[in-house]
Amino acid sequence: MLVFILSPRRMRKSLRFFLRFHFLFLFFFTTLAPKVVQAFTGTYGINYGRIANNIPSPDEVATLLRAAKIKNVRIYDADHSVLQAFSGTGLEIVVGLPNGYLKDMSANESRAMSWVKENVQSFLPGTKIVGIAVGNEVLGGDDYELWGALLGAVRNVYNSIKKLHLTDIVQITTAHSQAVFDKSYPPSSCIFRDNVAQYMKPLLDFFSQIGSPFCLNAYPFLAYMGDPENIDINYALFLSTQGIDDSNTNLHYDNMLDAQIDAAYAALEDAGFRKMEVIVTETGWASQGDDNEAAATVDNARTYNYNLRKRLAKKKGTPLRPKNVVKVYIFAIFNENLKPGPTSERNFGLFKPDGGIAYDIGYHGLKSSSADSLQKNFMRSIWKKIRRRAALNIITQRRTHFINCYQFHIWQTASHTSSHHAFLFFDRMIFLHLYIIKCLRHHTSTSKFFIFFSMNLFILSLKRQ
């Protein structure tokens, strides 16, 4: 066996070389890639509204969503029965702090802490709570007192999760309606309303500091209903149409949702927040309405939601922000029979109260003729996970074998140096040795490349001595 005998001077030289390289590695690759919490995986999510007395239980809803492979879910409160039902499912949920809590949370940080502990921290990590939506459509709404309370509530909730060391897990947001905008046609001309801007800009400034997106509830359905004579319904439904051209940017829009998103980007840029991401937290199309809601039909609802799914599957951005992949939460899982307002408000669901599909866009309901195939698909997905886990175990065993070999090599190198300095050398190397093992147990190819590279350099330095 080849053994390297090092003098004390050469040992110190090799160790300095090794330390310098790892310092450069740590400096560049930890500062260039800070961890930013993301509350949205993929492009497609759904809102779970429960203003109804005839919808399935939370446990059945969890089964439905997993079978449909819908991972991102938003609720409008922090109902414990829902959070318990979602525990261990892998579903990523954004809980809501209702508007009625905002004044109290804004005035009392201890109340915010209590709410976070009771409704978020106590369910982690079993339930994957990835975000808190503080209020909904507050700015631009009718209650002006809430406008002033929103930022204080957001700050106190964020400070609470910060003190609980949850900022790497839970993202803080609030959703806005299009009532915050002054004008949105063409998209590039959109700005925030004057009376909203004085509250919006401090809020956006805080969100930019903590890395939160701008959340928008965007409804081409409502826009079309408000001006059916001047808006082509095909433009609202993602169907073939002439679309519109924005003369200020020379950009073409072939659907209204893209235009609504880019209008929000334009308003953010005008306010000085060009880099902030826009996420659509609500959009949908009613399948039934009153006599004056002629566009609320099953065919239109099916067309909108089916074409939206196809558009999101492409994972592309908008004309103004082509690199920002569009992310959308559909409204909603179920029709909600207790919601007030026009008939359309109670008919945005993709599923009926009994769990069957309201119309076909590729999903299967809980109670339908395809229930057996749904169960088979669910079991098939479980077997895929088992096979992937088995493959991962094989890879892990191989990696562990390499790590053990490396541990043996370090021990042999240390024990065969001059007897006087052997254990001093080993003592100095043990910290770096443990750090390397920790990095090797991660799956990122970049970190493994640089660890292997540094190890080889170190071994070469020994040989050259």
Instruction: Tell which residue, 196, 180, 316, 195, has the closest CA to residue 260.
Output: 180
User: Which tokens hold the place of 108?
Assistant: 């009392």
Tell me whether residue 137 is one of the annotated catalytic residues.
Answer: yes
User: What is d(CA 160, CA 271) in angstroms, rounded to the nearest whole number?
Assistant: 28
Determine contact, residues 140/192, Cβ cutoff 8 Å.
Answer: no
- Is the bond preceding 342 in cis, omega lying within 30 degrees of 0? no
Neighbour tally for 237: CB within 10 Å:
26
Pairing of strands 214-217, 171-176: parallel
Pairing of strands 181-183, 191-192: antiparallel
Tell me whether residue 92 is one of the annotated catalytic residues.
Answer: no
User: What is d(CA 88, CA 90) in angstroms, rounded to the nearest whole number?
Assistant: 6
The region, left, alpha or beta by phi > 0 then psi within -120 to 50, assigned to residue 332 is beta
**What residues are paired with 282 via a beta bridge?**
217
Determine contact, residues 296/289, Cβ cutoff 8 Å.
Answer: yes
199 burial class (0-12, 13-18, 19+ CB within 10 angstroms)? Answer: buried
What per-residue string of b and e applies to 377-405 under the rule 16 or more CB within 10 Å gives b?
Answer: eeeeeeeeeeeeeeeeeeeeeeeeeeeee
R_g of the chain computed on alpha carbons:
28
Determine contact, residues 18/461, Cβ cutoff 8 Å.
Answer: yes
Helix (H) or strand (E) holding 175: strand 171-176
| Backbone phi, psi, residue 170, to 5° | -115, 125
Determine contact, residues 432/25, Cβ cutoff 8 Å.
Answer: no
**Cα angle vertex 90, ends 85, 92, to 5°?**
85
Neighbour tally for 145: CB within 10 Å:
9
Determine contact, residues 133/173, Cβ cutoff 8 Å.
Answer: yes
User: What is d(CA 147, CA 428) in angstroms, rounded to the nearest whole number?
Assistant: 59
Using CA atoms in the order 403, 408, 410, 413, what is the torsion angle rounded to 10 degrees? Answer: -150
Q: Which of 60, 137, 145, 293 is catalytic?
A: 137
User: What is d(CA 307, CA 313) in angstroms, rounded to the nearest whole number?
Assistant: 10
Helix (H) or strand (E) holding 330: strand 328-330
Q: Which of 282, 293, 336, 345 is catalytic?
A: 282
- Active-site residue list: 137, 282
